[in-house]
Structure 1
């Protein structure tokens, strides 16, 4: 399998974590559980004209999308079809990073998957055709970077309140109470939540829960012997019961099941 990533230059780097490319990904499992982290993923299948997802019981394909799909800001897990070898290219946006490239509030895409053509029209098809014309991965990244810059429908600037809050939530996801952060912003509670939902795709409270869950996954990554109570307390949970409830809500697994599964990446588990 060939894997390659690229971090775009500013100002895109303020909205995009990285571009990624997978070629020849053929895992032994036919389905893969994707965990939510509140970010948005753009996925372009360069081998087939389809992207297939399964229902939440892991059984039946619910929908086959076109060759490109936007995974909106998720607070729920979803299941990807990995039964066929693929060549895919994508963009892993930072939380709220997709906002300048859409003409709608991001909360309208919460827990949804939408074909890229439905959002960008013919420009989505044109982008894929350009990518297919190039055989060098770095050239594909360059095309993606240039095209994404031109596709911006809003200024590449975050709302100051959202920028401040995201920095606080991601650097101190469990040590800085939500009320303290909002108190430093200078907006009413209701106004701040409205702006945050529009730009990030969910409420600040839900986003903080996801950051706490993600911190758990990062702490236990590649660890075999875990003291779950210590992890729960270190990540800001009041007790182990609340920790397990959140873990199951976001992943469909209990913590012990998660550790026993085949993990390609903290957010991707083979089924």
Structure 2
């Protein structure tokens, strides 16, 4: 698996811990992510990944990517066999300036990139 991480330059370094690229076969099919005081944004460049929140057995698929803000409980993140993504680890509340709604409304509720910024934004990111 290839993982490359970079810290952005000012002024983004005040909002973002790092921007990363992930590609290849994950060392594990599922990862339990603990509660955390910050957000993560993942743009999916490959097969969909799955997220299971709460204690249920159902997972939701995220084809374009996802945004997870300040989870107060653990959730399960499932990688596809050959994953490819670009992600952003935000500092606490660092994602807030980029959101069209208050970040607190997304707490414990992963959403797709399309749900947050709309289909035109996803299309622009995909064509680039």
TM-score interval w.r.t. the shorter chain? 0.7 to 0.9
Alignment of 1:150-189 (within 5 A): none
**Is 2:33 the partner of 1:44?**
no
Higher RCO, 1 vs 2 (CA within 8 Å, ≥6 residues apart): 2
- Deviation string, structure 1 residues 152-201 (Cα, Å, up to 9, x no partner): xxxxxxxxxxxxxxxxxxxxxxxxxxxxxxxxxxxxxxxxxxxxxxxxxx
Q: State which structure, 1 or 2, has the greater radius of gyration over its C-alpha atoms.
A: 1
For residues 95-137 of structure 1, the C-alpha deviation after alignment (integer angstroms, 9 at most, x for no partner) is 000111112211101111011111111113311332xxxxxxx
- In the other structure, the counterpart of 1:18 is 18
Two-structure CA RMSD over aligned residues (Å): 1.7
TM-score, scaled relative to structure 2: 0.88
More strand per residue: 1 or 2? 2
Q: What's the TM-score once normalised by structure 1's chain length?
A: 0.44
Q: Give the 5 Å matches for 1:234-245.
A: none
User: Partner of 2:72 in structure 1?
Assistant: 75
Matches within 5 A, 1:201-216: none
Structure 2 unaligned residues grouped into runs of 5+: none
Within 2, Cα distance between the matches of 1:56 and 1:103?
25
Q: Quote the Cα distance in structure 2 between the aligned partners of 1:46 and 1:83.
A: 11
Name the SS of the counterpart of 2:59 in structure 1: strand
Q: How far, CA to CA, are the matches of 1:67 and 1:80 in structure 2?
A: 15
The unaligned stretches of length 5 or more in structure 1 are: 131-271
The one-character-per-residue Cα deviations of 1:223-261 (angstroms, maximum 9, x if unpaired) are: xxxxxxxxxxxxxxxxxxxxxxxxxxxxxxxxxxxxxxx
- 3-state secondary structure, aligned to 2:77: strand
